[in-house]
Structure 1
């Protein structure tokens, strides 16, 4: 039976679930009513008045009794006024003589019990009630767990249908190489003779490897939408249970189901839950997991080949998988799903932006430039946040301003406009961020400035964001020195304007970034003439269960001291370059700090125009920011907030 043959509201073509529950409860109520009725009718004559035996004898002596019926020890009858009575008579041999003396009509019959069918029904009714209740509970357990109460070994794989929300390769962007490799599998399923005539065999398995959110599951859904063959999906955790042998039984059952629908595709998400390295527990391994993995290995490539079944699995932990699972013949292809580059991010943004009404000023490439390292899931979340911000403001279109605000919110957190800061702290924050910006403008190798703000977000009290023109896969020495100078520009600006004793702790993240970059230059990249092109960095390899194959770097005390001296010299060199630039362009520092106090946020174009022309124009007309100092009043269009922090979207070490 296909999906179109099923009745609406049911997965099996039967009655609706609420109808089943209603019938069960109606049956229980009818059984209870029948039980009460049978109990009430078990004793005949229950409506007659019960009298003591002594009162019965007095009535007989007074001649008030018309007739009696004796059934064992139970005596029933009527008075002369047709009133019925009932009593319990002991073994009295003189009772019959007394009745005859008073002219009472006597009838007798043996004591009758309830019919045998009534007795059986009443005695078995509680048993049937408990049996029905147990059946109802077991059916609910089956419905909730997806398998029978005793069917733990049944597979939980679900066949994916594409009634609505169908995903195709057109919906997958930014990972072209991975898409092409999987598209070949789909073509093989559609036309196997195209490859078979040259001796090619269909791949038995493909392993999708990538960071979380890069689109592994989306690729699997696209395969299901394109292939046109049955597509089973299951999670690796669905195999593992507390009972030994259950997982292996589920693997066998899953492949039995797949054989009936071959050719088909089976997608196992998060396969590392069941495919971990065997024996890595050092004697404390999970036997159930290992048995499940062994059965999976046999089913994928054992004595009985499962032709026409393609296994596609996804994981973000390939380092923990068992080598037997990764060999050709089981997973013939390992498809790496990387984080997208700038062109890939543009395509991903365009896919998600199709569902959002956009304003004319939205530029997907500018957004992609400001989101290096974002995965497909991150970009989808960014578009959604921008749409929510626009809806909150009552707009009909999502503009570039919403995307910028959403990007800042995703990267650094929401604005902290409730923070209360003194005027002195605001001025120091403005000069700190202006110091970063001025040094960046005059460092030729620095990335262009995108935005500067003194509005606190998350843990940062301010930010200068620079956007690279394109993705960089290697970084040159001149750019590293430029980044060092820019990172130290905020601390230098505080010292130049407010004095040595007024330097704040706001440059902690800047110092951390500069120190890490200088350490990488010395210990990893061989950019110190005194240390030379030798690697002294500590290993950062993958570790499994707390054990790492990498050995720590051994060095003498003299070498360690030399490395520390070189790191300090490089960071100090960046600080000296920043101090030289800010001292030479002190007027631009004052001008930009005043503009930040006035407007709180400035774009890169506004900063460049301010430095070149000395003023900027906004909707309320041209402004010429005053130099903040003693006795200077700065006009404010919004309540200013201040902070410190150095923002650069490029990864550490850039």
Structure 2
């Protein structure tokens, strides 16, 4: 590979040589002299009797330029002088030179002036053409060796030895089954021709980012062992008119030369958006590129042996002509993996990593609902990096737990210092979320609670569904909203004040409640779809139209229903936390002491009031044993008091609220 300085020298060198030649020509036409004389010095030279050996006279309109040679001390000396051009000066000068026997010539100044005028006229044009050629070479790609005429060539990358196979794609069994037909056709097309079947010309992979759409396309090429052309939709469109269409034509031309082959267009929505939605009538470069793509995919000329795969996460914005049968005959939905698929994906990405014996991919999959394949890969990579940082030989579950937390909320910010009041506030806030998850039947299951800040969050509460389902009922959605309110209600009950820490909880709860009213029909307004009025959409060429398709009165009723759902969930959350104040205080106290609690510890505190004896590490890295006896009420103490002899002078026990100071003393005593 050639270095950039070498390419730059080769580009600049021709222009440098051209400038040198122009300078040399100018020098030859205007030879320099060793001495420039004034008029008086020239007259003194002539009066002294010095003979001028040779001279050259160039008269112009105002002056006479004269150059010549005379001898001084036996050495020739070049000189030049400028004399005023009067009526008699030229005649006198010629007479004096003739009398002294000097050989002289008279030149016409108009010839030199015309030549230099032509050079100075065309020199800027030549330089401009050179600069444009240089820019076209760079824009055309290919570094210093690219040619300007390659500007409209295809940017698709050709790979003829693809290593990816279907075994490298996990958790997409149905998607791979649909794509196996393409592999069979590329390997044995006669099998389909005998049945009268035609393989799809194009397959569109639709799904969220990171679900493996590009990986599936590469696996098809690897399984079929055919050339693989890959390009992004944005690489077609340039600022110059006609370049995108030319690149489409060139790409299909090269594909026909390598047929059978696969063309993969990633992010096709960059070039395949609906036509007619732009300003100015839609005659822009992108739409012309799309028109050419439509013709090449299914136009007058056939493209036998070429299968087009494309990927996008915005199929709703694609042009209908692009999605019709004959172009993209089949759409394959590539969704986020379920629990079983996540475990398989983790096993694929764990091939070259070393894990501890207690690492269970099924448990990790259960704790990562909604994660895409790319996020799962990132989890294991973060865990591996953390294990190396800590000097371990294998990746442990602690490393994987931290990797999950990093993917969700970013790295822990243990250096952030809280005041004691803020630590208590965060502990009770997160404990409020946990209590709702432990109490409500349809609420999400609490997996982990921590008061260590991550990102912009002061604490972190990992809650996952008890079972992964494709549909959610109204009760489940209301339970989710109630869970979002847990932290806010806990602050209000235990501190008599609220903080800004519930901002994200309120945002998520409001969004979910509005979704129930406007799109899911789960309110008193009935099963009617209402536009939210928040998202702008393109309707034909009216790019200012919005999705607000209801009256102001209906908007008021929607707001009332949203408020009603939030208020009801807030009241339910207040009731649950009030009834379980002692359990919430227990969980909050444990959070203040150990900062992070796992699912087993939280459930043990909730059901038995005791923390299981589990070895762990404190924040400073020392070994600790979590206490086995933390009682959340005094029922057992009362029972023991009833079984023993009562003291005659003992007054009735009165249950009263426990202050923070008393709670700290209780924990210190248990230590």
The TM-score range, normalised by the shorter chain, is 0.7 to 0.9
- Asked if 1:276 corresponds to 2:273, the answer is yes
Is the Cα contact below 8 Å between 2:179 and 2:220 reproduced in 1?
yes
CA offsets per residue over residues 413-471 of structure 1, 9 Å max, x none? 44454555443443343334334434544555555431121223344333432334542
Q: Does 1:315 align with 2:312?
A: yes
In structure 2, the residue matched to 1:22 is 9
2:331 pairs with one of 317, 324, 334: 334
Q: For the structure 1 residues 364 and 142, does the alpha-carbon distance in structure 2 shift closer, same or farther, using more than 3 Å as the test?
A: farther
CA distance, structure 2, for counterparts of residue 354 and residue 443 of structure 1: 40
- Conserved 8 A contact 2:267-2:310: yes
The residue that corresponds to 1:146 in the other structure is 141
Deviates more, 1:130-139 or 1:265-274: 130-139
Q: CA deviation at 1:562?
A: 8.6
| CA positional deviation for 1:558 | 9.9
- CA drift at 1:333: 1.0
The answer as to 2:575 corresponding to 1:544 is no
Whole-angstrom distance in 2 between the partners of 1:53 and 1:520: 101
Matching of residue 620 in structure 1 with residue 650 in structure 2: no
Note the 1:474-489 alignment, pairs <5 A. Answer: 474-475=471-472, 489=486
Q: Distance in 2 between matches of 1:75 and 1:490?
A: 102
Deviation at 1:86, TM superposition (A): 5.6
Q: Does 1:402 align with 2:399?
A: yes
Does the 8 Å CA contact 1:519/1:567 hold for their aligned counterparts?
no
- Within 2, Cα distance between the matches of 1:70 and 1:513? 97
Q: Distance in 2 between matches of 1:496 and 1:416?
A: 28
Q: Aligned to 1:591, which of 586, 589, 592?
A: 586
**C-alpha distance in 2, partners of 1:270/1:351?**
25
Q: Which moved more, 1:616-625 or 1:89-98?
A: 89-98
**Aligned-pair CA distance for 1:310:** 1.9
- C-alpha contact (below 8 Å) 1:595/1:625 kept by paired residues: no
Tell me which residue corresponds to 1:652: none
In 2: Cα distance, 1:311 partner to 1:97 partner? 91
Q: Which residue of 1 aligns with 2:661?
A: 630
Contact (CA 8 Å) 1:416, 1:458: kept in 2 or not?
yes
Between 185-194 and 477-486, the greater mean CA deviation after superposition = 477-486
SS, match of residue 346 in structure 1: helix
Are residue 83 (structure 1) and residue 75 (structure 2) matched? yes
Separation (CA, whole Å) in 1 of partners of 2:561 and 2:25: 100
Partner residue in 1 for 2:155: 157
1:601 aligns with: 596
Question: How far has the Cα of 1:600 moved from its partner?
Answer: 0.8
Tell whether the 8 Å contact from 1:596 to 1:602 is kept in structure 2 after alignment: yes
Evaluate the alpha carbon distance shift between residue 388 and residue 140 of structure 1 in structure 2; reply closer, same or farther with a 3 A threshold. Answer: farther
Post-superposition offset of 1:285: 3.0
2: distance between equivalents of 1:504 and 1:17? Answer: 57
Verify the 8 A CA contact 1:485 1:574 in the aligned structure 2. yes
In 2 relative to 1, CA 548–335 (structure 1 residues): closer, same or farther, beyond 3 Å?
Answer: farther
8 Å CA contact 2:256, 2:303 repeated in 1? yes
Q: Measure the CA separation in 1 of the matches of 2:595 and 2:262.
A: 55
Q: Secondary structure at the match of 2:205?
A: strand
Tell me the SS of whatever aligns to 2:195.
coil
Any conservation in 2 of the 1:265–1:309 contact (CA below 8 Å)?
A: yes
- Sort the Cα spacing of 1:525 and 1:90 in 2 relative to 1 into closer, same or farther, 3 A: closer
- Once the 2 structures are TM-superposed, how far is the Cα of residue 327 of structure 1 from its aligned partner? 1.5
Tell me which of 163, 174, 178 is aligned to 1:177: 174
Contact 2:136 2:148 in 1 (8 A): no
The total of aligned residue pairs comes to 601
Q: How does 1:199-598 map to 2 (within 5 A)?
A: 199-242=196-239, 244-280=241-277, 284-393=281-390, 395=392, 397-417=394-414, 419-443=416-440, 446-468=443-465, 470-475=467-472, 489-490=486-487, 493=490, 501-502=496-497, 534-536=526-528, 538-539=530-531, 544-545=537-538, 547=545, 552=550, 568-569=567-568, 572-580=571-579, 582=580, 586=582, 588-598=583-593
| Equivalent-residue separation in structure 1 for 2:605 and 2:275 (angstroms) | 64
Q: 1:107 to 1:403 in 2, by over 3 A?
A: same
CA shift at 1:205, angstroms?
Answer: 1.0
- Counterpart residue number, 2:192: 195
Contact persistence 2:448–2:598 (CA under 8 A): yes
Given the two structures, how large is their TM-score scaled by the length of structure 2?
A: 0.73
The worse-fitting range, judged by mean Cα deviation, of 309-318 and 357-366 is 357-366
Q: 1:154 to 1:226 in 2, by over 3 A?
A: farther
Distance 1:276 1:183 in 2: 29
Check whether the contact 2:133–2:148 (CA below 8 A) recurs between aligned residues. no
1:35-58 CA-partner distances (Å, limit 9, x unpaired) = 556655667895689695544444
Cα offset for 1:108? Answer: 4.3
Separation (CA, whole Å) in 2 of partners of 1:422 and 1:97: 109
> Do the aligned partners of residues 203 and 599 (structure 1) sit closer, same or farther apart at CA in structure 2, a change above 3 Å counting?
same
1:552-603 superposed Cα distances (whole Å, 9 cap, x missing partner): 59979999979976775565345434433x15xx2x4443222111111111
Q: Supply the distance in 1 between the matched residues of 2:279 and 2:53 (Cα, whole angstroms).
A: 92
Note if contact 1:489-1:579 (Cα within 8 Å) is conserved in structure 2.
no
Distance 2:115 2:330 in 1: 68
Distance in 1, matches of 2:98 and 2:152, equals: 80
Q: Is the 8 A contact 2:577 2:584 kept in 1?
A: no
Cα distance in 1 between the residues matched to 2:11 and 2:555: 81
For residue 522 of structure 1, report the CA deviation from its aligned partner.
Answer: 8.1
| C-alpha contact 2:436 2:573 (8 A) present in aligned 1 | no
Cα displacement string for residues 353-396 of structure 1 (whole angstroms, at most 9, x for unaligned residues): 33544444443333322222222233333334444444555555
Could you list the runs of 5+ residues in structure 1 that have no partner in the other structure?
A: 1-8, 11-15, 100-105, 638-654
TM-aligned CA distance change 1:350 to 1:121, over 3 Å: farther
The residue matched to 1:351 in structure 2 has which SS? helix
User: Does 1 or 2 have the higher relative contact order (CA < 8 Å, sep 6+)?
Assistant: 1
- Contact 2:443–2:476 under 8 Å retained in 1: yes
- CA–CA separation in structure 2 for the residues paired with 1:343 and 1:467: 15
Question: Which shows bigger deviation, 191-200 or 598-607?
Answer: 191-200
What is the SS of the residue equivalent to 2:462? strand
**Alignment RMSD:** 4.8
Partners of 2:482 and 2:569 within 8 A in 1:
no
